[in-house]
Structure 1
Amino acid sequence: MTDDRTPPPQVWPTLRAADARALIRFLVDVFGFEETAVYGEGDRVDHCQLSWPPGGGIMLGSAGRGDDDRWALRPGTFGAYAVTDDVKAIHERAVRAGAEIIREPASTDYGSFEFACRDPEGNLWSFGTYRGEPRGGSAP
């Protein structure tokens, strides 16, 4: 389904969670994702779209949804890099929420300022200012 508010085609990483509803709250409250759609009843989440404010987002659902789950991913095995201009604020919220910080905020040799942590399910997240290299060119 598309309309004039539907984003252009993009890549949407996906993950599964042992406690999807708790992970959704963490990703929204701590990292700053926007809850766009959540389908499911009770503790079960059949499909969730969390949008990343600068663009794109992730999709997730509950693990162990039965034999018909052809997208059975193990919780805690996901990793992602999210572009942000507010690394310090996300880091501070992650620390306050008790996230395991894997790498403290620091500048990299490729021009990014970033940090890395684990969410409550064990997934790896890196937040930084690096937006990637221009298409069709090579790195300087």
Structure 2
Amino acid sequence: MAALVYTNIFTDDIDRLADFYSSLFGLEEIVESKSPIFRGFLTGGSSLGFSGPGAYDLLGLTPQVATGDRVLQTFDVDNEDQVRGLTDKAEALGATIVKEPFATYYGWFQSVLRDPDGNAFRINFRGAPA
């Protein structure tokens, strides 16, 4: 099985977005990879990167121009209180709450937000072990 080791978010302001997520979740920066067009952070089993516009040329990509959500990041936490607390903290840091913390039909507890760039993400508790 393949393992997801990195996910990147393209942004015009890598410092603003990197600082938002690292402040919200207390992420540890991978300082060896920091550059004018990239910042990366450890997130547990994978890493989260923020790529500036210069990364498009480096990777041979062109920016997407279609509107609408294409990616949804989900960050797991240890309990429902953390979902609530981090949702409030995210809003204070500049996120927009799309859906207040709620219980899902599949037994998880989560909130849905948009970061300062408008990217959708969830703060999620998978529920108590069976």
Tell me which interval the TM-score lies in, with the shorter structure as reference length: 0.7 to 0.9
Partner SS state of residue 107, structure 2:
coil
Give a deviation string over 1:67-103, Cα, whole Å, max 9, x none: 4442445598542112112212211211212311011
Q: How big is the shift at 1:36?
A: 2.1
Change (3 A) 1:21 1:67: same
Q: Which has the larger radius of gyration?
A: 1
TM-score w.r.t. the length of structure 1 is 0.70
Q: How big is the shift at 1:18?
A: 0.6
Q: How big is the shift at 1:28?
A: 0.7
Q: CA RMSD in A?
A: 2.5
Change (3 A) 1:74 1:24: farther
- Separation of aligned partners in 1, 2:46 and 2:63: 21
Identity, % of aligned pairs? 23
For structure 1, which runs of at least 5 residues remain unmatched after alignment? 1-8, 132-140
Q: Aligned pairs, how many?
A: 118
For structure 2, which runs of at least 5 residues remain unmatched after alignment? none
> 1:13 maps to what in 2?
7
- Separation of aligned partners in 2, 1:95 and 1:50: 21
* Higher normalized helix content (fraction of residues): 2
Greater mean deviation of Cα atoms: 120-129 or 73-82: 73-82
Change (3 A) 1:71 1:31: farther
Contact 1:49 1:58 in 2 (8 A): yes
TM-score w.r.t. the length of structure 2 is 0.75
> 1:55 maps to what in 2?
45
Contact 2:34 2:40 in 1 (8 A): no
Q: Partner amino acid for 2:77?
A: T
Change (3 A) 1:128 1:73: farther
Q: Partner amino acid for 1:48?
A: R
